[in-house]
Amino acid sequence: MGHPLGDAWERTSYDYLFRFDSHPVTNQVALILMDNAAFDQFHQTRGQPWDRGLHAQLLNRLADDGCQLVVLDSFFRELREPAKDAALAAAMRRQQHLVLMAEQLRVTHPTLIGAQPLLPDKLFLAAGGTNWGVGWLDPDLDTIVRRQWPFPSPGPYPL
């Protein structure tokens, strides 16, 4: 499979935007993973949704510590346990800035191509101040992501 003419120049044009950038690098980011160790530590079951009470405890701790931004990469599509859902929504409202995950759905129609977000439940969306986002990456052949969604045509969703 060949590369389109000029593909290397296009990739380089994205890369050079960062070569001369003078923004300071921050190390004030904490990534909290729901990995194997976390599953064991918090007694969660693989294949089952995490206990929302744990999410609420974490968000309350972050609010108490003055966290400036929380991005939740867990999808809260539906309500489950009323008390824990209410505690999670209350903890979301305590955040200075909160962004919730939405999922990307592909609209299928015989003559149309499109995209539509699947949003969190209204309780959580309202608690988050309606801030939501879709993370969609388009890595090049060298596995470096240079573009964010919506991608220019041609792509999975033409503009």
Is 4 part of a structural domain of the chain? no
Is 82 part of a structural domain of the chain? yes
Contact criterion met (CB below 8 Å) for 120 and 86: no
Is 16 part of a structural domain of the chain? no
Give the integer Cα–Cα distance in Å for 19 and 64: 38
Residue matched to tokens 């388009």: 138
Residue matched to tokens 């505690």: 87
Is 55 part of a structural domain of the chain? yes
**Within a 10 A sphere around the Cβ of 120, how many other Cβ atoms?**
24
Is 91 part of a structural domain of the chain? yes
Q: Per-residue pLDDT tens for 60-72?
A: 999 999 999 999 9
Domain count, the chain: 1
Q: What is the DSSP letter of 43?
A: T
pTM (2 decimals)? 0.70
Is 158 part of a structural domain of the chain? no
Question: Which amino acid is located at 30 in the chain?
Answer: A
Is 155 part of a structural domain of the chain? no
pLDDT band at 158 (very low <50, low <70, confident <90, very high): very low
Is 156 part of a structural domain of the chain? no
> What is the extent of the structural domain holding 92?
30-148
What share of the chain has pLDDT > 70, as a percent? 68
- The phi, psi pair for 142, rounded to 5°, reads -90, 15
